[in-house]
């Protein structure tokens, strides 16, 4: 239809056929094919020519291929287009690929409808062909309603392809698995084309395929930013391709046998309320699916593999782009055209018009930019811009106008706009040699590249200039295709300005001065100023928009020349051309094409509010900060009202004032981690003293906390250990509101420390090891599950299978989240998930829908937290955060978002609680991420079977959080694994009101308690012989001892406290004596008895440290005996 039908129309007698294509490449490629196939004599005039923006060839040929954008421009600005072309003969306009419903296609349809309506006399001179794979009824309806217009519709009969095509559904199959499967059966020259949604996915799939095939399979990317030569070279030499929509129509594959289609596309969607465009991944329409399917059957039989699970027919047509685009540039182009009216006028001629709200938003934006006045007429700025060439956006047009009239750098902006107009991705920056990169950022780097090329061009005769050779010498060959387009664009702009009497000279003025260029850019892109949140006492390497009314957060594009290492301070203030929002990126935008600017260059008006607490407000007044700031910045209004400090004025001055105030609000807070127990509370005081002594010897346990507060809030924490009095001095430097929160975290830690018998060493526990050979052969399934969580070499393909594959379950999804925590962030996984799933292979679901499995409760501090149904097995993921590196919660959440895992984060003073998969079909689960310094206070464990842990790259091994392998407990790893597999458990602490419900929960799940509870108490620190641990009153043992003492001694006895003794030396001596006695006794039963012995004063310490010799029981040395 694209190559043959236009030639047949010429043969039929039509004088001129103009054919539109949605992209540049098809224009040139189809034109070449027509000339090759329709001409027998190479010396005769070519039958077909082409025209694209900035370039053309044989435009007077009878068939002209041009982009729909170029036709739109000619329809807007050339009122004699049809009259000039026709010469009393009929001209044919052939609009191809209309099913894509791009903005340009819809505007062409609308402009033709307007012409045919307003100028009925041209109906005899023009014929319009609308060609589309599928067509929404709105398009034919538009033309049918035009009076006296003959409209015919021809639907191509289903004739099939030259060769057969087989459709094979493979819903949700992994794309790389399928490609490897096809490679095993394909013939040598057969080609495989895979359609995915995004450029990043294209590159990822190519890299992963090479990785998992160990280099035996090579896939080639086909993306929009490549040159036509690169694409064609890949097609000629490759057999496996991953592509976005670019391969649907524009490219020809000589041996295509297989098409693999994910059925997804990425499209930009504009939100007029948020005033931002987001790149969204959505399912493809039927028309798109047909295009992809239509790649097959041309040169040989083909197979089409669909990986999607939706019904293609449910979405026949894509949403027209004009209905989900930013309309400001369209509105302006219509108003400056011959039509002199905007979208409110034109929408009656459009097949599908944008809603009035979106159009009104565009008009309001034009008014805000001072392009349109309150009467909907062009302002002087609007008139001036309308006389300039089209720079692709109003922002760039304003920047160029400012450069021409105000900042004496017109040529700089024209050159810069030439290359920026052909760039929609920042990947070009990576290919620029470092010698050409400028410290000011991407704008000056690109300008430098263009100036290097233009200098050579202007230094030699036009006949001698060879761009390819220049790029080769300057190491710019990888971006030759970009520079070629940019140079062509610049030459056209140069011609336009040479025809302008007003701007001819100004367009030749060049300054190469970044300040002048930046000020010009600010005139157009003033809303795109971002300041480092580090400067505003926020997160390092995150930027926030410093212009009203939006408050977006963003990161710098990794390709930018201004990107800094994570350990280095970021640039303070940047201006960006592009702010990219994407559904594949979490809550931050990405800033592309940026330059570093200074605050004094920013002139727009700004209002900023700073929230203060009472102490901060008092400091402002008492230290005269407010008064001195008003004196230093007399041109801004500063008001303090009800804890809100308001700054109004020029944005640059407001920023300087804000930074000045924030810096002066930084104060120092000092306090000590000290023993709050009175000396009269002997045991508690001694225990806390011992624990604080341990903390003072390990100040590094707070390092992750220090990293977190500095990275997120620029708060500096210093921990000074005072060995003399075994206390830690804490110094916090930050705003009082932040310092209070830090102090609250330390107080929370002290609360845990009070309940801790012995604070653990960071390396305590039992290191991971493999199960002994005798048991290992029955635990291979367990080792495989361990590797799912601890093997850092797992590929994203494997992870996606576990998340969305045909065998994905709640447990496999939990494994992926655990893998991210363990392998990407060095966390340690412990607790119930290891017990129930990894070792026990046990699952259970509550009755009811998954949405009912979560309830919410308020904790003691008033925080609402999610809780899972107690019948859910496995329940949650328990992780200890790493002690040797900073855990960045935002990057962790970015990883979850990357794998499309839904989450909600809750924060307590000692942990993160994350609710995951709340709305997933497989059901929700929670995750605890416990701060490492708090984890060290968790020195005891409830059950032996809950004591297992997993660590990164220990792919077959299990570890223990608490060491229970030594005597008298002697519980080895194999014992725990065997207990889990047989659903038995040993209680390891006194059964109190907290432990009893946990025992009941285990027993309700079918577990059996083994023997009597063991009272596992950690060994004392090396300096001490003994540890005393209070026995809770709620335990059965406590109540039994009280009853016995009252029975043996006197019913009036009052028990104040009972404490358990942990003295390893005495325990070893006692056990050794017990074994010796046992050998001497009949049946090797040592006849062990539990006795009470009464004493006081120093004798108590004697018993604790040196033990009790039962030979003196009841003798002269004992005051009491029972």
The C-alpha atoms of residue 675 and residue 750 are separated, in whole angstroms, by 9
Q: Is 70 exceeded by the pLDDT of residue 1121?
A: no
Using a 10 angstrom Cβ sphere, with 0-12 exposed, 13-18 middle and 19 or more buried, the burial of residue 862 is exposed
pLDDT digits over 558-571, tens only?
999 999 988 889 99
pLDDT digits over 97-120, tens only?
898 899 999 999 999 999 999 988
* Cβ 627 vs Cβ 595: under 8 Å: no
Q: Is 80 exceeded by the pLDDT of residue 1111?
A: no
Question: Alpha helix locations (H) across 51-156?
Answer: 68-77, 81-86, 103-118, 138-144
**Range 225-245 average pLDDT:** 88
pLDDT, residue 1113, reads 58
The token pair at 1009 is 């308690």
Q: Is 60 exceeded by the pLDDT of residue 280?
A: yes
pLDDT digits over 6-45, tens only?
999 999 989 899 999 988 888 988 999 899 988 877 777 8
List of long-range contacts for 29-38, beta carbons under 8 Å, 24+ apart: 29/228, 29/250, 29/252, 30/2, 30/3, 30/65, 31/57, 31/63, 31/65, 33/3, 34/3, 34/6, 34/7, 34/63, 37/3, 38/7
pLDDT digits over 931-952, tens only?
999 999 999 999 999 999 999 9
Q: Is 80 exceeded by the pLDDT of residue 1119?
A: no
In 82-190, where do the E strands start and end? Answer: 91-95, 126-130, 165-169
The C-alpha atoms of residue 1085 and residue 1076 are separated, in whole angstroms, by 11
The token pair at 563 is 């990107």
The token pair at 363 is 């008009």
Estimate to the nearest angstrom the gap between the alpha carbon of 98 and the chain centroid: 34
Which of 636, 689, 694, 690 is CA-nearest to residue 660? Answer: 636
pLDDT digits over 1061-1084, tens only?
999 998 888 888 888 999 988 888
Q: Is 90 exceeded by the pLDDT of residue 1103?
A: no
For residue 1106, CA distances in Å to 1061, 1100, 1117 come to 12, 10, 15
- Look over the chain and give the mean of its residue pLDDT values, rounded to a whole number: 91
Report the helix count and the strand count for the chain, using DSSP H and E: 38, 41
pLDDT digits over 438-492, tens only?
999 999 999 999 999 999 999 999 889 999 999 999 999 999 999 999 999 999 9
The total of other beta-carbon atoms located within 10 Å of residue 884's CB is 10
Query: Cα(first)–Cα(last) distance of the chain, in Å?
Result: 108
**Range 350-359 average pLDDT:** 95
Which of 450, 408, 400 is CA-nearest to residue 428? Answer: 450
The token pair at 401 is 């106008």
Q: Is 70 exceeded by the pLDDT of residue 544?
A: yes
Confidence band, pLDDT 50/70/90 cuts, at residue 670 = very high
For residue 981, CA distances in Å to 653, 839, 944, 1010 come to 69, 7, 13, 14
Using a 10 angstrom Cβ sphere, with 0-12 exposed, 13-18 middle and 19 or more buried, the burial of residue 174 is middle
Residue showing tokens 């290191």: 767
Using a 10 angstrom Cβ sphere, with 0-12 exposed, 13-18 middle and 19 or more buried, the burial of residue 52 is buried
Confidence band, pLDDT 50/70/90 cuts, at residue 83 = low
The token pair at 26 is 């098809």
Contacts with 905 (C-beta within 8 Å, 6 or more apart), sequence order: 889, 893, 912, 913, 914
β 984-985/1008-1009 pair status = parallel
* Cβ 669 vs Cβ 715: under 8 Å: no
Torsion of CA 813, 818, 819, 825, to 10 degrees: 140
The token pair at 727 is 């206390």
| 3-state DSSP assignment of residue 154 | coil
Partners of 91 in beta bridges? 16, 126
pLDDT digits over 793-850, tens only?
998 888 988 998 778 999 999 999 999 999 999 999 999 999 999 999 999 999 889 9
pLDDT digits over 709-734, tens only?
999 999 999 999 887 777 899 999 99
**Range 960-983 average pLDDT:** 95
**Range 953-962 average pLDDT:** 97
**Range 880-898 average pLDDT:** 95
- Give the CB-side neighbour count of residue 232, counting CA atoms within 13 A: 7
The C-alpha atoms of residue 420 and residue 391 are separated, in whole angstroms, by 9
* Cβ 445 vs Cβ 438: under 8 Å: yes
**Range 134-152 average pLDDT:** 89
The total of other beta-carbon atoms located within 10 Å of residue 90's CB is 14
Q: Is 50 exceeded by the pLDDT of residue 1122?
A: no
- Asked whether the bond before 674 is cis by omega within 30 degrees of 0, the reply is no
pLDDT, residue 158, reads 64
Q: Is 70 exceeded by the pLDDT of residue 207?
A: yes
* Cβ 739 vs Cβ 538: under 8 Å: no
Least confident of 144-158, 358-372, 376-390, 664-678: 144-158
| 3-state DSSP assignment of residue 18 | strand
Using a 10 angstrom Cβ sphere, with 0-12 exposed, 13-18 middle and 19 or more buried, the burial of residue 149 is middle
pLDDT, residue 124, reads 84
Helix (H) or strand (E) holding 739: helix 736-754
**Range 947-970 average pLDDT:** 96
The C-alpha atoms of residue 37 and residue 318 are separated, in whole angstroms, by 34
Residue showing tokens 């699916």: 289
What is 852-894 written as a DSSP string?
A: GSEEEEE-TTS-EEEEE-TT-BS-EEEEEPPSSS---HHHHHH
The total of other beta-carbon atoms located within 10 Å of residue 213's CB is 15
Evaluate if pTM is beyond 0.85.
Answer: yes
For residue 808, CA distances in Å to 173, 788, 811, 815 come to 11, 13, 8, 10
């Amino acid at each position: 239809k694209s190559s043959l039908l236009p030639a047949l129309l010429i043969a039929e007698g039509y004088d001129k056929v103009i054919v539109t294509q949605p992209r540049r490449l098809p224009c040139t490629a189809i034109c070449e094919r027509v000339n090759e196939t329709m001409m027998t004599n190479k010396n005769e005039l070519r039958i077909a020519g082409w025209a694209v923006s900035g370039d053309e060839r044989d435009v007077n040929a009878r068939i002209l291929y041009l982009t729909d954008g170029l036709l739109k421009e000619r329809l807007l600005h050339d009122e004699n287009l049809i009259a000039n072309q026709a010469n009393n003969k009929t001209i044919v306009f052939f609009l191809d690929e209309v099913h894509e419903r791009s903005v340009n296609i819809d505007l062409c349809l609308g402009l033709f409808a307007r012409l045919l309506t307003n100028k009925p006399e041209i109906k005899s001179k023009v014929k319009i062909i609308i060609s589309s794979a599928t067509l929404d009824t709105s398009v034919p309806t538009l033309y049918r309603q035009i009076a006296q217009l003959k409209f015919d519709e021809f639907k191509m009969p289903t004739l099939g392809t030259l060769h057969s095509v087989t459709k094979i559904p493979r819903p949700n199959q992994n794309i790389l698995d399928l490609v490897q499967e096809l490679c095993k059966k394909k013939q040598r020259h057969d080609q495989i084309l895979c359609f995915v949604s995004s450029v990043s996915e294209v590159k990822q799939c190519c890299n992963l395929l090479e990785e998992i095939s160990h280099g035996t399979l090579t896939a080639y990317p086909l993306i929009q930013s490549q040159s036509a030569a690169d694409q064609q070279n890949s097609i000629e030499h490759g057999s496996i391709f991953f592509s976005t929509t670019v391969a649907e129509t524009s490219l020809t594959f000589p041996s295509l046998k297989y098409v693999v289609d994910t059925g997804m596309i990425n499209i930009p969607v504009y939100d007029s309320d948020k005033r931002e465009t987001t790149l969204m991944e959505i399912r493809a329409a039927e028309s798109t699916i047909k295009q992809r399917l239509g790649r097959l059957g041309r040169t040989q039989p083909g197979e089409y593999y669909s990986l999607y699970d939706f019904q293609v027919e449910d979405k026949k047509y894509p949403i027209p782009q004009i209905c989900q685009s930013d309309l400001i540039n369209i509105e302006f182009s219509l108003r400056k055209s011959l039509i002199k009216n905007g979208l409110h006028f034109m929408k009656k001629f459009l097949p599908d018009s944008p809603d009035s709200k979106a159009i009104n938003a565009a008009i309001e934006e034009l008014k805000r930019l001072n392009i349109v006045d309150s009467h909907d007429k062009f302002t002087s700025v609007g008139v001036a811009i309308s006389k300039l060439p089209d720079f692709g956006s109003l922002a760039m047009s304003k920047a160029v106008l400012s450069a021409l009239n105000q900042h004496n750098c017109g040529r700089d902006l024209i050159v810069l706009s030439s290359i920026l107009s052909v760039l929609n991705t920042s990947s070009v920056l990576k290919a620029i040699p470092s010698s050409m990169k400028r410290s000011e950022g991407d704008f000056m780097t690109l300008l430098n590249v263009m100036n290097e090329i233009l200098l050579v061009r202007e230094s030699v005769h036009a006949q001698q200039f060879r761009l390819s050779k220049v790029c080769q010498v300057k190491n710019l060959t990888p971006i030759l295709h970009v520079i070629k387009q940019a140079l062509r664009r610049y030459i056209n702009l140069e011609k336009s300005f040479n025809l302008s009497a007003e701007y001819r000279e100004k367009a030749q003025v060049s300054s190469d001065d970044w300040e002048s260029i930046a000020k010009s850019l600010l005139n157009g892109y003033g809303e795109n100023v971002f300041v480092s949140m580090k400067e505003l006492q926020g997160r390092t390497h995150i930027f926030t928009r410093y212009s009203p009314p939006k408050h977006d957060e963003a990161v710098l594009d990794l390709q930018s020349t201004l990107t800094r290492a994570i350990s280095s301070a970021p640039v303070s203030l940047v201006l960006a051309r592009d702010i990219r929002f994407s559904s594949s990126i979490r809550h931050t935008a990405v800033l592309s094409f940026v330059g570093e600017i200074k605050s004094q260059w920013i002139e727009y008006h700004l209002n900023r509010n700073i929230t203060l607490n009472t102490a901060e407000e008092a400091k402002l007044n008492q230290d005269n900060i407010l008064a001195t700031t008003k004196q230093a910045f007399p041109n801004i209004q500063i008001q303090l009202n009800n804890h809100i400090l308001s700054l109004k004025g020029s944005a640059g001055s407001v920023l300087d004032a804000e930074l000045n105030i924030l810096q002066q609000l930084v104060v120092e807070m000092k306090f000590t981690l000290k023993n709050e127990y009175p000396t009269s509370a002997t045991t508690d005081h001694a225990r806390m003293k011992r624990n604080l002594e341990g903390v003072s010897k390990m100040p590094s346990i707070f390092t992750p906390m220090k990293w977190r507060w500095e990275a997120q809030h620029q708060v500096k924490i210093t921990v000074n250990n005072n060995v003399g009095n075994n206390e830690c001095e804490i110094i916090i430097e930050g705003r009082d509101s932040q310092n209070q929160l830090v102090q609250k975290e330390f107080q929370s830690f002290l609360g845990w420390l009070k309940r801790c018998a012995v604070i653990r060493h960071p390396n305590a526990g039992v290191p991971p090891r493999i199960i002994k050979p005798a048991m290992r052969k029955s635990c291979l399934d367990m080792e495989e599950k361990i590797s799912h969580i601890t093997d850092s070499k797992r590929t994203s393909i494997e992870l996606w299978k576990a998340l969305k594959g045909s065998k994905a379950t709640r447990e496999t999804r939990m494994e992926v989240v655990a893998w991210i925590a363990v392998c990407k962030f060095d966390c340690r996984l412990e607790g119930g998930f290891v017990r129930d799933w990894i070792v026990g292979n046990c699952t259970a679901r509550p009755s009811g829908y998954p949405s009912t499995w979560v309830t919410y409760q308020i904790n003691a501090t008033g925080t609402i937290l999610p809780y899972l149904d107690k019948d859910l097995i496995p329940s949650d993921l328990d992780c200890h955060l790493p002690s040797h590196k900073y855990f960045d919660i935002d990057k962790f959440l970015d990883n979850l978002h990357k794998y499309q895992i839904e989450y909600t984060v809750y924060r307590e003073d000692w942990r993160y609680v994350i609710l995951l998969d709340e709305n997933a079909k497989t059901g929700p689960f929670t995750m605890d991420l416990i701060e490492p310094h708090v984890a060290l206070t968790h020195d005891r464990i409830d059950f032996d079977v809950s004591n297992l842990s997993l660590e990164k790259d220990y792919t077959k091994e299990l570890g223990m959080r608490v060491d229970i392998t030594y005597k008298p407990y002697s519980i080895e790893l194999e014992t725990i694994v065997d207990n889990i597999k047989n659903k038995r458990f040993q209680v390891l602490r006194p059964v109190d009101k907290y432990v009893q419900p946990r025992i009941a929960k285990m027993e309700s799940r079918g577990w059996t308690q083994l023997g009597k509870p063991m009272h596992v108490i950690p060994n004392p620190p090396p300096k001490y012989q003994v540890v005393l641990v209070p026995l809770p009153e709620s335990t059965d043992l406590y109540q039994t001892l009280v009853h016995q003492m009252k029975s043996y001694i006197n019913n009036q006895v009052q028990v104040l406290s009972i404490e358990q003794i942990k003295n390893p030396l005495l325990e070893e001596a006692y056990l050794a004596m017990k074994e010796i006695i046992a050998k001497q006794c009949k049946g090797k039963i040592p006849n062990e008895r539990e006795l009470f012995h009464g004493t006081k004063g120093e004798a108590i310490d004697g018993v604790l440290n040196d033990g009790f010799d039962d030979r003196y029981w009841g003798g002269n040395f004992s005051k009491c005996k029972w």
